[in-house]
């Protein structure tokens, strides 16, 4: 199982040291870029769920291509 957690910078080293002491846990910090990419993907997935539920309207691909 993978879990993404957000930790204040001043506590990150403590949490990383704590997690590394567990043999069954692999902990690796994310770069700011990777963090932004993951958040963007999560937002896109959440929006797709809302579109499928009918709570949000999608923009047709043709309209997006016409804007280019």
Helix/strand/coil (H, E, C) string of the chain?
A: CCCCCCCCHHHHHHHHHHHHCCCCCCCCCCCHHHHHHHHHHHHHHHHHHHHHHCCCCCCCHHHHHHHC
Global pTM value: 0.60
Dump pLDDT digits (tens) for 8-52: 999 999 999 999 999 999 998 889 899 899 999 999 999 999 999
Rg (CA), the chain: 18
């Amino acid at each position: 199982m993978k879990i993404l957690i957000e930790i204040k910078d001043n506590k990150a080293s403590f949490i990383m040291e704590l997690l590394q002491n567990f043999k069954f846990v692999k902990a690796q910090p994310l770069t700011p870029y990777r963090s932004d990419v993951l958040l963007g993907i999560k937002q896109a997935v959440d929006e797709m769920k809302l579109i499928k539920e009918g709570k949000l309207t999608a923009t047709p691909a043709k309209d997006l291509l016409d804007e280019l």
